Amino acid sequence: MKVCVVGSGGREHALFRALSATAEVVVTPGNPGIPSSLSRPAEEIEADLYVIGPEAPLVDGLADRLRARGKRVFGPGANGARLEGSKSWMKEVLAAAGVPSARHAVFSDLGGAVEYLKSTPGPYVIKTDGLAAGKGVLVTASLDEACRDVEDKLAGRSFGGAGSTVVIEECMEGPELSVLAICDGKRAVPLAPAQDFKRVFDGDRGPNTGGMGAYSPVPRAGDAVVGQVMDTCVEPLVAELVRRDIDYRGVLYAGLMLTGEGPKVVEFNVRFGDPESQAVLTRFDGDLAGFLAEAAEGSLRSEPSFSGQACVAVVLASAGYPEAPLPGGMIEGVTTAEEVEGVTVYHAGTALDEGGRLIACGGRVINVCALGADLGVARRRAYEAVAHISWPGMHFRTDIAASVAPPEPDEVSR
C-alpha cells in the first residue's frame, strides 16, 4: 500500500515511521528528517491512502476534496473538523450528546463578556473560538488579567479573527489525559492513552504551548479509566455525529480532565495530538496503515496493539516559544542522540540551510522519543539523548514524566 501523509511536524514524522513498518510512505511537505518528503500538494500525489496530520487543512476541507476525487482518506471532512475549528460549536455538540464538560458561555461583545466574568467566582478560563495552535487558552485567577485577555482577543490583537468570538468556561480541576480514538464513522476504538505537558516551563508554569512533552502509557489511566472515557465521552459523541449525518472517519482526540466527578472533556480535537502521537505511535505494534485504511473505508475490524514498553517524548523548542519563536542557529548532536538505546529523534521545525546544515526554524523544533522497559528507563534514555542536542536558544522541560517514573537505582541508593 502507498500512503501519503500530509503535514510537516513531529507528528507526521512519527506517522511516517509507524506507517513505514507495513507501507510505502511519502509525506507532503514533510521535513528534513523524513527521507520521502515531497513538495507537491496532496491532490497531485497518487496514493492508496491519505492521512492528514494538522487541523488547518482538515478544517479547510482537504479530506472532502480528496474524497471527491474518489480517494481513500483518513481524516474528517470539514463538517466534522468543525469540532476543532469552532470551540463554541464543539460545546454545543457535546451538550447535545450529554458528554460531561465544563459549563460555558460564548461572547462576541466585550461588555457582555466582562459582565459575565464579574458574575463568576473564578478562576477564569478564556478561549478563542477559532484555531490558535493550542495557545488560545488563558487560565487565570485574576479578574483583571481575564478582562484584559478578553479585550485583546475580541479586538483581534492576540489571535486575529480566531479570537473574534470567545468561549468562557468554568475551571475544572484534576490531572489531564489524552485519549486518541480511531473512528470509522460508526464506531471508535481507543489507542493507548497519553499524558501531555501543555505549559512551557517545569512545574506546569508559564503560558500554554502546543505541548512540551508526553508519555505513554499513563499509570493512572488503566483499562477501566479508558473504558469510562469511551462510554461517557467518545461513544456519545460518535452517536451525536451520526445523528447529525456527519460521517467522521479520523481521529477523535479527547483532551480530558479526570475530575472528582469522573472524566470531563476539555476539548475534542480532530487529528492526532502533537506530541502525544509521538509517544503513542512509537509504541504502536503492527499494521498501522491497514488499521487506518479500515477506518477510512468505514469498516474498522482490527484492534490496535501496543508494545509493552513505555515511551517518553521531550520537545526541544526555540528561544521565544510559544510567544514569538526566534529562528535558531545550527542544530548539533542529532546523530549522536539517535545512538542512545531506544531513542528516535523526530524533526518538527527544522530546515536545511544553503550548505545543507540542519537549522532550527520553528517553535517546536525536535522531539526526542525513547522507549524503555518502564517510564523510568524511557525517561532516562530520552534525557540522555537530549543532552547531546543543542542550538542557540534551545529550551525544553526537564520534568516530563518525572512524577510517574520510578526512581533510578542510583537515586534509590543515594
Binding site for ligand AMP (CB under 6 A): 102, 125, 127, 134, 137, 139, 169-172, 176, 198, 208, 255, 266-267
Count of alpha carbons within 13 Å of 154, Cβ hemisphere only?
Answer: 19
CB closer to ligand AMP out of 129 and 169: 169
Count of CB atoms situated within 10 Å of the CB of 32: 18
The CA distance from 155 to 147, in Å, is 12
- Kindly tell me which residue out of 274, 281, 368, 377 binds ligand GLY, with binding defined by CB under 6 A: 274
| Helix (H) and strand (E) counts in the chain | 14, 23
Q: What is the 3-state secondary structure (H, E, C) of 18-87?
A: HHCCCCEEEEEECCCCCCCECCCCHHHCCCCEEEECCHHHHHCCHHHHHHHCCCCEECCCHHHHHHHHCH
CB closer to ligand GLY out of 72 and 364: 364
Please give the grid coordinates belonging to residue 33: 528528517
Residue 349 and residue 283 in contact, taking contact as beta carbons nearer than 8 Å: no
Tell me, residue by residue from 298 to 337, as one string, x for binding to ligand GLY by CB under 6 A and - for no binding. ----------------------------------------
Q: What's the closest the beta carbon of residue 363 comes to ligand GLY, in angstroms? A: 13
CB closer to ligand AMP out of 261 and 303: 261
Asked whether position 211 contacts ligand GLY by CB under 6 A, the answer is yes
Asked whether position 276 contacts ligand GLY by CB under 6 A, the answer is yes
Q: What do you get for the CA distance between the two ends of the chain, in Å?
A: 53
> Which listed option, ligand GLY, ligand AMP, none, makes contact with residue 250 (CB within 5 to 8 Å by class)?
none
Kind and range of the H or E run holding 410: helix 409-413
Q: What's the closest the beta carbon of residue 110 comes to ligand GLY, in angstroms? A: 28
Strand partners, 194: 178
> Which listed option, ligand AMP, ligand GLY, none, makes contact with residue 267 (CB within 5 to 8 Å by class)?
ligand AMP
Q: What's the closest the beta carbon of residue 70 comes to ligand AMP, in angstroms? A: 35
Q: What's the closest the beta carbon of residue 368 comes to ligand AMP, in angstroms? A: 22
Residues binding ligand GLY (CB under 6 A): 134, 196, 210-211, 269, 273-274, 276
